[in-house]
């Protein structure tokens, strides 16, 4: 079946592009002697995690406990959860995961650590953790020069096992051009270097030093401290990656196929893909370089400037051959959001439909309700 025979809107996954992306990053990491544990909140798919493992990923970073449990169920050994937990239900899920695999949680304070330690003591298990270093995002984590203080404080918890340090240079998404990326790589590497040196001097052994964001991957790949990298968006890429030359259009594996359904005036078309397909993300952390709500492939004269839930408004700036009935492919601004809005990807090779790939890990823990 040709993709242009599909009902729209449709979320397409170009398998050839995705596999090229995975291979390129895998080869880069291998050449540098590093590991990739990708952040799977990007795709939320067991099948795509299997594809990442095929291309050399040796662990997974998860954005939800649902994702972590799915990876454990699939038989993967190295699983990291990106955030602390502080509720009874979440704590018990972490305890269960710690019994199943090499599960590592991230911590940035003693309050959550106390809750987790008490549960681990009752369950007679030890929970592994890394400390979160704030490398500039100012979300989770502690300043590099405060890391030893926290590490010593957490030594009181006998059922928690220190493994190392982690960070996320997510502030890189404030960059509006490729020229700005190196400064974020430097803050990432310098923060890790300060924290690692201080911890080693204080007698702590670092078995894990991990970090990652797709835009900083190549700039920090040769860092002497970093061992494990956590790119997420790299499997798909999107308009945000295009805005900083972190990817090319042909590297964008996830697109939205839409139909032009109205032409109410000369400078306006309406398509049948809205916020429920494309999302409303126009760049996180202050990025002002994103214009509109996606890039229409092959049509630089068109801008998706407004979204309702089910339709998008397209502004025309210059001559165009677009007409009602045409189908267009849109690179979303943020592919992670688009992925989370669908139950399945229509996997394609070229313009031929290959199969459906289920997005099977995007629930919000409703299955835990009794």
Distance of CA 217 to the CA centre of its chain: 13
The torsion defined by the Cα of 331, 335, 340 and 343, in degrees rounded to 10, comes to 50
Backbone angles phi and psi of 241, in degrees to 5: -65, -35
Beta bridge partners of 302: 316
Q: Which two tokens stand for residue 131?
A: 């400390």
CA proximity to 295, closest of 259, 232, 243: 243
Q: Which two tokens stand for residue 254?
A: 């996830």
Whether residue 78 contacts residue 101, with contact meaning beta carbons closer than 8 Å, is answered with yes
Encode pLDDT of 307-343 as tens digits: 999 999 999 999 999 999 999 999 999 999 999 999 9
According to the model, what pLDDT value does residue 218 have? 97
Q: How far is the C-alpha of 302 from the C-alpha of 347, rounded, in Å?
A: 26
Whether residue 116 contacts residue 85, with contact meaning beta carbons closer than 8 Å, is answered with yes
- CB contact burial 238-259 (16+ within 10 A = b; e otherwise): bbbbbbbebbeeebbbbbbbbb
Question: Is 0.85 topped by the overall pTM?
Answer: yes
**In 3-state terms, what secondary structure has residue 249?**
helix
Q: Nearest 5 degrees, angle CA 333-CA 246-CA 17?
A: 75
DSSP 75: T
Encode pLDDT of 291-301 as tens digits: 899 999 999 99
Whether residue 370 contacts residue 308, with contact meaning beta carbons closer than 8 Å, is answered with no
Beta bridge partners of 128: 104, 161
Please, what is the end-to-end C-alpha distance for the chain in angstroms? 43
Q: Which two tokens stand for residue 338?
A: 């688009």
CA proximity to 236, closest of 345, 116, 91: 345
Beta bridge partners of 299: none
Residue 269 makes CB contacts below 8 A (sequence gap 6+) with 260, 262, 263, 302, 313, 314, 316, 322, 324
DSSP 135: S
**Start-end of H helices in the chain:** 15-31, 46-54, 65-73, 88-100, 110-123, 147-154, 181-201, 217-220, 239-243, 275-278, 335-339
Show the domains of the chain with their CATH numbers. Answer: 15-235 (3.20.20.10), 245-339 (2.40.37.20)
CA proximity to 51, closest of 11, 10, 15: 15
According to the model, what pLDDT value does residue 285 have? 56
Beta bridge partners of 165: 131, 209
**Ordered per-residue pLDDT tens for the chain, 370 residues:** 999 999 999 999 999 999 999 999 999 999 999 999 999 999 999 999 999 999 999 999 999 999 999 999 999 999 999 999 999 999 999 999 999 999 999 999 999 999 999 999 999 999 999 999 999 999 999 999 999 999 999 999 999 999 999 999 999 998 989 999 999 999 999 999 999 999 999 999 999 999 999 999 999 999 999 999 999 999 999 999 999 999 999 999 999 999 999 999 999 999 999 999 998 887 765 566 788 999 999 999 999 999 999 999 999 999 999 999 999 999 999 999 999 999 999 999 999 999 999 999 987 655 555 4
According to the model, what pLDDT value does residue 36 have? 98
Contacts of 56-62 with C-beta under 8 Å, sequence gap 24+, read 56/26, 56/29, 56/30, 57/26, 59/35, 59/102, 59/228, 61/37, 61/210, 61/212, 61/230, 61/232
């Amino acid at each position: 079946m040709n993709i242009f025979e599909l009902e729209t809107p449709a979320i397409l996954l170009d398998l050839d592009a995705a596999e090229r992306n995975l291979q390129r990053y895998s080869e880069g990491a291998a050449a540098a002697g590093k590991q990739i544990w990708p952040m799977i909140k990007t795709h939320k798919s067991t099948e795509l995690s299997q594809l990442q493992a095929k291309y050399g990923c040796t662990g997974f970073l998860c954005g939800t406990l649902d994702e972590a449990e799915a990876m454990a169920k699939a038989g993967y050994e190295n699983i990291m959860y990106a955030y602390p937990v502080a509720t009874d239900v979440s704590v018990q899920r972490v305890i269960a995961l710690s019994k199943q695999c090499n599960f590592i949680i991230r911590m940035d304070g003693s309050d959550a650590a106390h809750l987790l330690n008490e549960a681990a003591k009752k369950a007679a298990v030890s929970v592994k953790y890394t400390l979160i270093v704030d490398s500039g995002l100012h979300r989770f984590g502690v300043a590099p020069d405060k890391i030893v203080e926290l590490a010593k404080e957490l030594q009181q918890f006998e059922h928690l096992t220190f493994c190392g340090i982690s960070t996320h240079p997510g502030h890189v998404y404030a960059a509006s051009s490729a020229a700005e990326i190196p400064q974020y790589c430097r803050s990432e590497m310098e923060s890790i270097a300060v924290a690692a040196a201080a911890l080693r001097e204080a007698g702590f052994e670092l078995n894990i030093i991990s970090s990652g964001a797709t835009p900083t991957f190549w700039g920090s790949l040769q860092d002497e401290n970093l061992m494990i990298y956590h790119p997420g968006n790299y499997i798909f890429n999107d308009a945000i990656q295009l805005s900083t030359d972190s990817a090319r259009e042909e590297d964008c594996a996830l697109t939205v196929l839409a139909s032009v359904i109205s032409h109410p005036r000369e400078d306006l078309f309406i398509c049948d893909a809205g916020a429920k397909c494309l999302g409303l993300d126009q760049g996180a952390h202050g990025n002002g370089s994103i214009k509109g709500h996606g890039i229409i492939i092959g049509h630089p004269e068109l801008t998706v400037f407004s979204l309702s839930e089910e339709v998008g408004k397209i502004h025309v700036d210059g001559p165009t051959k677009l007409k009602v009935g045409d189908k267009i492919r849109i690179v979303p601004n943020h592919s992670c959001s688009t992925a989370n809005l669908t139950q399945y990807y229509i996997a394609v090779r070229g313009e031929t439909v290959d199969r459906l790939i289920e997005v099977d890990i995007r629930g919000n823990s409703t299955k835990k309700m009794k």
